[in-house]
Chain A
């Protein structure tokens, strides 16, 4: 669905590339997350993929349409939730949706809601019901909560049935409850429409929900794969063990062909074995066992450059 090759963007008057040779692919219907610290080039990548920014070099296609030569077709097949809200505060929720629907050529322009085609009014009512704002749909946006505005933006961006929905850090600035509500809404959207989701975020727990994730740092792809594979690649799972007779344990581990590291306890990498199989193989009585499974956060922090973490 999305195919990006050697994408490079250097802003004018900038010393370094904001996006520096990024390549990845996203399959149809996939939930793809671009994870990285602030300034990693996530928004720049989204701006290029949604045709609002020209890349310095490299190429990309979305749904088979080339970004450079078929920008209009690309725009028709994508929806986007911008990092900063892009609703017009002076308009009502319905007017914001109507503006979008007419701009995308879904319905002809009419001077007022009452004069819009009945198909539009039915669709709007259905959307308002989904959001639970049936009573407020004709009220100005500024009376809405931050979470509600975000959901309205998602609803709006989906009415032209895009093949890919881009979400640029959609939950920044939302409280925990709104964030959860937004994710529930998004997963419902996914299961109903099969839309490909392209998310950028610096929240690891959000990226962990993705089918595939790509960690970027300073414009480069650091890692790319399923959240599980990324974890496995990054930090080894290991077990800390100890016994009163430590030398017997050392001898046994060596005999079993298990590598280990000395420390406060002995650290044995699992290297693909299960914890259960490992412990079953050890006959020496153990007094200490601790398994260590890395979180994606560990993996993430181990990956990105130390300067990016501060």
Chain B
């Protein structure tokens, strides 16, 4: 009961921070709109007829997954910033389990990422991405899984970084290649074996593919777009989530205390 209250209060703090930071709300929408509108739109114009499915829709689902995954991963990494502002001391000094703290943080960043996901879906409506009620519900559920997974990925990155400066410098190198390896904008069917291997090691790939699997279910493009069955992706993400959380939290706490 105490642990649940602690998780909720930590999560609520992150959500309140989002609500009170209007510039952050605005800026989180700009990138997805640029990616989907410009990149998806222009690729659709040049390649759409060759590839046999809508590039705009393909990019839309990819960017949706990538945005929420990235948002919650970055949110977890903000624990470093908290530490530098000494707010995390207030959290870490409390008689609450470290796992509870990290889990509360993941939940909070999920609450921050999901409204962004909703904004992108609304944008999808505007630019004419086709939706059915089933695909909408599926996307929302898959989005929750993707944000939780992004948060766990953030924990494992966090555990290996020393400062916010290091995080700002290193995180793009960890994330940007995944944009392409996970096929956010580009189809990754038929990659050479070495790129395929790295692609399979990219956590973002499973989040993107899960959302596509759910969105394209029952559509004729399904076989051309989706790499693996949603249940397979879900299983991989569940195992990786647990591993990231346990290993990441242990490493993070150890590096905090054994300075």
Contacts and interface: CB of A to CB of B under 8 A. Distances in A.
A85 B4 CA distance: 27
A88 B123 CA distance: 33
Contacts of A52: 89, 92-93, 256-257
27 contacts: A11-B259, A51-B93, A51-B257, A72-B95, A73-B95, A82-B89, A83-B86, A85-B86, A87-B87, A87-B90, A90-B17, A90-B20, A95-B13, A98-B9, A99-B9, A99-B90, A102-B8, A103-B6, A103-B9, A103-B91, A103-B94, A103-B96, A105-B5, A105-B95, A109-B4, A109-B6, A109-B8
- In order of increasing CB-CB distance, the 10 nearest A-B pairs are A109-B5, A105-B2, A109-B8, A75-B95, A102-B9, A86-B90, A76-B95, A84-B86, A103-B94, A86-B86
Contacts of A83: 86
B258 interface: yes
Nearest to B6: A103
A122 B21 CA distance: 30
**B17, B86, B90 — most chain A CB neighbours (10 Å):** B90
Contacts of A109: 4-6, 8-9, 12
Contacts of A78: 93
Given A75-B94, A90-B20, A109-B4, A53 B259 contact: yes
Interface string B1-38: 11011101110110011001100000000000000000
Contacts of A50: 93
Interface string A30-71: 000000000000000000001111100000000000000000
A90 B21 contact: yes
Contact of A91 (B2, B13, B85, B259): B13
B188 to A, nearest CB: 39
Interface of A: 11-12, 50-54, 72-73, 75-76, 78, 80, 82-88, 90-91, 95, 98-100, 102-105, 107-109, 111, 140
Contact of B90 (A53, A54, A76, A100): A100
A99 B87 CA distance: 12
B94 A104 contact: yes
B92 A91 contact: no
A53 B257 contact: yes
A65 B50 CA distance: 71
A73 B91 CA distance: 15
Contacts of B258: 12, 54
Contact of B16 (A53, A76, A90, A105): A90
Interface string B113-155: 0000000000000000000000000000000000000000000
Interface in B213-259: 256-259
A2 B10 CA distance: 31
Nearest to B101: A103
A82 B21 CA distance: 26
Contacts of A53: 257, 259
Nearest to B7: A109
B156 to A, nearest CB: 21
Contacts of B5: 102, 105, 107-109
A45 B69 CA distance: 40
Contacts of A80: 89, 93
B88 to A, nearest CB: 9
A109 B258 CA distance: 32
Contacts of B21: 90
A111 B86 contact: no
A72 B99 CA distance: 14
